Amino acid sequence: TLKKRFVHQEMRSQGIEESKLQLLTDVSGAFQPGVLTALVGVSGAGKTTLMDVLAGRKTGGYIEGSVYISGYPKRQDTFARVSGYCEQNDIHSPYVTVYESLVYSAWLRLSSDVKSDTRK
């Protein structure tokens, strides 16, 4: 595609010969159970890319490396049940709790065959 071709030309003009662009490297972190955590950083730092990889939302490109949750290799089905992720472009009301926002997001995003108790 035109966009892909332009990116490759731009990379070559900057002296980068590889056909893959590495977006994240040596990323580590810790999240405490039951604690709301904000991921902050400058624009372009890779916050959304990191969260998309963790949430299993990245469908294109290459994902290499390992992700561990509590010392165990991440299993997407398990991780999806125990975590919630509100994107930066979601609209958040000041009149509802964080829990209510996450439940609302789950109702909108999850398949209709997911039971109500599971969504909560």
In tens, the pLDDT along 37-93 reads 888 888 888 888 888 888 888 777 777 788 887 788 888 888 877 777 767 676 778
Contact 50, 39 (CB under 8 A): yes
- Domains in the chain, number: 1
Is residue 40 assigned to a domain?
Answer: yes
DSSP class of residue 114 equals S
**Residue with tokens 């975590």, as numbered in its chain:** 83
Q: Residue 28: its pLDDT value, please?
A: 81
Is residue 81 assigned to a domain?
Answer: yes
Q: Residue 16: its pLDDT value, please?
A: 65
Is residue 4 assigned to a domain?
Answer: no
Token pair, residue 47, equals: 């916050």
pTM (2 d.p.): 0.58
Contact 30, 56 (CB under 8 A): no
Is residue 44 assigned to a domain?
Answer: yes
CA–CA dist 119, 98 (Å, integer): 15
* pLDDT: which is higher, 116 or 55: 55
Give residue 46's domain range. Answer: 9-26+36-118
Is residue 69 assigned to a domain?
Answer: yes
Show the beta-strand stretches assigned E in 14-120: 68-69, 72-73
- The answer to whether residue 9 scores a pLDDT higher than 70 is no
Is residue 96 assigned to a domain?
Answer: yes
